[in-house]
C-alpha cells in the first residue's frame, strides 16, 4: 500500500466528523452499507489475533423496541437503589441508555472470554485473569471504534453505547447470543434525525489531549 498525505487528511476528516448521534431518521440503511461497515470492523486488531468475536446485526424494529424496553426496565429497577438527591440526575443520565431506540440498525460487537494465558498457569492468579478479561474488552473497543469511523465515512450517524449493558443478560437472551458471549457495546447506525452540523470549535478541543514525552 502506498501511503499518501491525502489518505491521512481523509482519515483526519472522518475522525473530526464523527460525533455521537442519538436520534435517527426512519430512513433505512442498505445491507450494502452495513456490509461495508462490517468489512472495515473485521480488520480490527484483536488480542492474540483470536477470532472469538463477532458483530450481531439487528434490523428488526420489534427486536430493537424489546431491547429498549429491557433497558428501561433495568433503569427503573436501578432507580430504586439511587440516592434520593441523585434521582433526577440519574434519570436524566440514563435517558442516554436508550439512545439506540430510533435507529434502523443496531450493531452489537460481542466477544467470548476464552482463557488463554489463564489456562497456561498452574495456580489461579486473579491479576492474570483480570489482564485477560481486560484484553477482550480493549479488543472489542478497537472493533467498535472502527465501526464508528466506517459509519461516519459513509455519511451515517452512530453512537458508542455501553449504558444499555445494565441489561446485558436480558439483551443477550433477546438476541439469542451463545451463553459464553459478552456484549461489548450497542452501536446504533442510521441517518441523523436533524442533521445539524457541529461547529468546528468543539472538535478543536481534542487537540489539547495529545501529550508528548
Ligand X SMILES: Cc1cc2nc3c(=O)[nH]c(=O)nc-3n(C[C@H](O)[C@H](O)[C@H](O)COP(=O)(O)O)c2cc1C
Half-sphere exposure of 143 (CA within 13 A, CB side): 29
The residue number whose beta carbon is nearest to ligand X equals 163
Cβ neighbours for 50, distance < 8 A, ≥ 6 positions apart: 114, 116
135 binds ligand X (CB under 6 A): no
- 30 burial class (0-12, 13-18, 19+ CB within 10 angstroms)? exposed
**Residue 162 near ligand X by CB under 6 A:** yes
CB of 204 to ligand X, least distance (A): 12
* Binding-site size, ligand X (CB under 6 A): 11
Does residue 182 belong to the site contacting ligand X (CB under 6 A)? no
Site string for ligand X, 72-111 (x = CB under 6 A): ------------------------xx-x------------
Per CB under 6 A, which of residues 3..32 are in contact with ligand X?
Answer: 19-20, 22
Sign of CA dihedral 98, 99, 104, 105: negative
According to DSSP, residue 173 is labeled H
Give kind and range of the element (H or E) at residue 141. helix 126-153
Nearest distance, CB of residue 121 and ligand X, angstroms: 29
- Chosen residue from 161, 167, 171, 189 binding ligand X by CB under 6 A: 161
Amino acid at each position: 500500500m502506498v501511503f499518501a498525505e491525502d489518505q491521512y487528511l481523509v482519515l483526519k476528516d472522518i475522525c473530526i466528523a464523527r460525533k455521537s448521534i442519538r436520534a435517527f431518521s426512519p430512513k433505512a440503511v442498505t445491507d450494502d452499507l452495513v456490509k461495508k461497515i462490517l468489512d472495515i470492523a473485521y480488520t480490527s486488531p484483536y488480542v492474540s489475533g483470536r477470532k472469538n468475536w463477532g458483530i450481531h446485526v439487528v434490523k428488526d424494529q420489534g427486536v430493537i423496541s424489546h431491547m429498549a424496553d429491557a433497558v428501561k426496565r433495568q433503569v427503573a429497577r436501578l432507580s430504586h437503589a439511587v440516592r434520593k438527591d441523585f434521582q433526577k440526575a440519574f434519570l436524566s443520565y440514563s435517558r442516554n441508555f436508550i439512545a439506540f431506540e430510533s435507529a434502523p440498525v443496531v450493531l452489537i460487537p460481542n466477544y467470548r472470554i476464552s482463557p488463554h494465558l489463564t489456562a497456561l498457569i498452574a495456580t489461579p492468579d486473579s491479576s492474570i485473569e483480570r489482564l485477560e478479561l481486560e484484553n477482550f474488552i480493549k479488543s472489542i473497543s478497537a472493533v467498535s471504534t472502527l465501526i464508528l469511523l466506517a459509519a461516519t465515512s459513509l455519511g451515517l450517524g452512530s453512537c458508542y453505547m455501553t449504558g444499555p449493558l445494565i441489561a446485558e443478560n436480558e439483551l443477550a437472551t433477546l438476541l439469542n447470543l451463545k451463553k459464553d458471549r459478552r456484549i461489548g457495546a450497542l452501536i446504533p447506525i442510521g441517518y441523523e434525525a436533524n442533521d445539524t452540523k457541529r461547529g468546528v470549535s468543539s472538535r478543536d478541543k481534542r487537540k489539547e489531549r495529545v501529550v508528548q514525552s
